A and B are shown apart, each in its own frame.
Chain A
Amino acid sequence: MLEHAQAVVDALQRFEFAYPFVMGGVWVAGALFFWWFEERRAATSLGPPLPSPCPRVAVIVPCHDEAPQIAETIRALRELRYPDYEIVAVDDGSTDETGRILESLAGHDPRFRVVRLRVNQGKAAALRAGVASTTAEYVICIDGDALLEEDAVGWMVHALTASDDTGAVTGNPRIRSRSTSLGRLQVGEFSTLVGLIKRAQMVLGYLFTVSGVVCGFRRRALADVGYWRSDVLTEDVDVTWRLQLAGWRVRFEPRALCWILTPETLRGLWRQRLRWATGSVQVFLGCLPRLLRWRSRGMWMMVGEYLMSTAWAFVAVTLTAIWLAAFLPGVSLPVSVGGLVPGEWGLMLGAIFLLQVAVGMALDRRYEPGVERYLPSVIGYPFAFWMLMALTVVVALPRALLRGRGRPAIWVSPDRGLSRNP
């Protein structure tokens, strides 16, 4: 019996190290495939080729307690290189000066409108209010702390209008907050791994999610799926899955750059990742009946990878707990775990991880020259973030199951990292 238990633990340990190794190789190959066929010859310096006549676009900025950043966000939006756009800022029951700042900014610009919601109703409700207040066929949604590059809207419209079945497009978020180790780790994460995975998923034909901080939608597609749902913690994952289940295509446009702030405290990072993990479980459970239909088979590979990642998280946390328990005084376990960082497998994981980082940075330095400076900070990513993400998934599953359906997901001000000003 004990031998069987040890055999199970050994098998789990093999899975724990083999799975990231296998998927690392798959992401690299997929990203290179995408780069070769879609990205290699695509020009960036000439600006986006826009359709004629240019469709009207609404840039929607839902905000809640964004007073320190919102003026900078709106300033960046006013400098966009796009011929026909309006800015719709939705103040979602802010308790700080956000509403007043927005009203004062609106006075100067006829393209800029403010929608004020008296009570904090959550990001999904704010986005719906923003869409309801415009007649534009294409809507670009960004967060209240996100700074769009001048051509970002043009590139997203270019992607949205490329084919009639494109329902959404996600941009390329770049991290601004780089003052701490956590900030720099996230630079590596977004510059290498997130971009790499999005490119590989584009080859698959299905994205796990648009980045809620910078994404664009065809209004007709949003109407088709009933817009954003208020009862999930990750409205971006939810709308992405429902669009793809309805047959709409979702694309990644790496040239649509958007500069974002990220948490630089462990607490802030934990809360952000836990929200993402909980929201993903909610979306999966909510979409499960439709996913099981034969006509949704195109999404099965992407969903299968999500389920395997979730299983990996549980295995990693369980084995770590067994490993730690062995150090407790007076505890004698019938099974043992070789080590948290194994020698030989660690070597292979390290090699594939470095390959991922190298390829990711090589592909991304086109959009952010000099990003490779952050390579030494990324080296700790597998140990710090893999464990953090595994823990959030394990905690998120019961949270998502216990969270009542229909309960609105309101937002609180997240950690935005160290600000530039003292």
Chain B
Amino acid sequence: MKGRDLIIDVPGRRSRLLRWRDRCLTLLLWGAWSRPVDALARLGLGPFATDGDLVWDIFLRDLSEATSAMSVLIVVLCVWGGYQRCRRRAAARAPRISHGGDRSGW
């Protein structure tokens, strides 16, 4: 058996209730994107076209704060990941005297 043979995709066998639930759910979920898409349209028109620059100033300030936090976390993660890799490679080169369950690497 291979992947594609195992997939069960029989939409025609859904009950009427499930069919309507799926239609409503799809409509609702796609509809939820209307405000972000509207914001994209406003961005295309220019941020000052509707609400004035205050809303955009606040948003851009929040966005830059969030992006800074994200950048710091990404750097921490990558430095930590790099350090872990080096530590494991060094441990692999060393003679194997320790076994799982101890924290000699710390």
Contact = CB atoms under 8 A, between A and B. Distances in A.
A26 B77 contact: yes
Interface in A265-293: 265-266
A348 B39 CA distance: 10
Contact of A180 (B11, B39, B43, B78): B11
A40 to B, nearest CB: 14
Interface string A179-215: 1111000000000000000001001110000000000
Interface in B16-49: 18, 21-22, 25-26, 28-30, 32-36, 38-40, 42-43
B3 A22 contact: no
B36 to A, nearest CB: 4
Interface residues of B, number: 58
A116 interface: no
A257 B3 contact: yes
Contacts, number: 171
Given A14-B62, A26-B70, A380 B32 contact: yes
A70 B39 CA distance: 51
Interface in B44-96: 55-56, 59, 62-63, 65-67, 69-70, 73-74, 77-78, 80-81, 84-85, 88, 92, 96
Contacts of A203: 77-78, 80-81, 84
The interface size bin for chain A is 35 or more
A347 B35 CA distance: 8
Contacts of A350: 33, 36
Contacts of A18: 62, 65-66, 69
A266 B18 CA distance: 10
Contacts of A298: 106
A422 B70 CA distance: 49
Contact of A179 (B13, B42, B85): B13
Interface in A288-303: 295, 298, 301
Contact of A33 (B7, B10, B81, B98): B81
Contacts of A76: 1
Contact of A147 (B6, B13, B34): B6
Nearest to B96: A164
A165 B102 CA distance: 8
Q: Which of B25, B98, B101 has the largest count of A CB atoms less than 10 A from its CB?
A: B101
5 contacts: A149-B3, A165-B99, A342-B36, A344-B59, A418-B10
Interface of A: 14, 18, 21-22, 25-26, 29-30, 33-34, 37, 76, 79, 147, 149, 163-167, 174, 176-182, 200, 203-205, 218, 220-221, 224, 246-249, 257, 259, 261, 264-266, 295, 298, 301, 339, 341-350, 368, 370, 379-380, 383-384, 417-420, 422
Interface of B: 1-4, 6-11, 13-14, 18, 21-22, 25-26, 28-30, 32-36, 38-40, 42-43, 55-56, 59, 62-63, 65-67, 69-70, 73-74, 77-78, 80-81, 84-85, 88, 92, 96, 98-103, 106
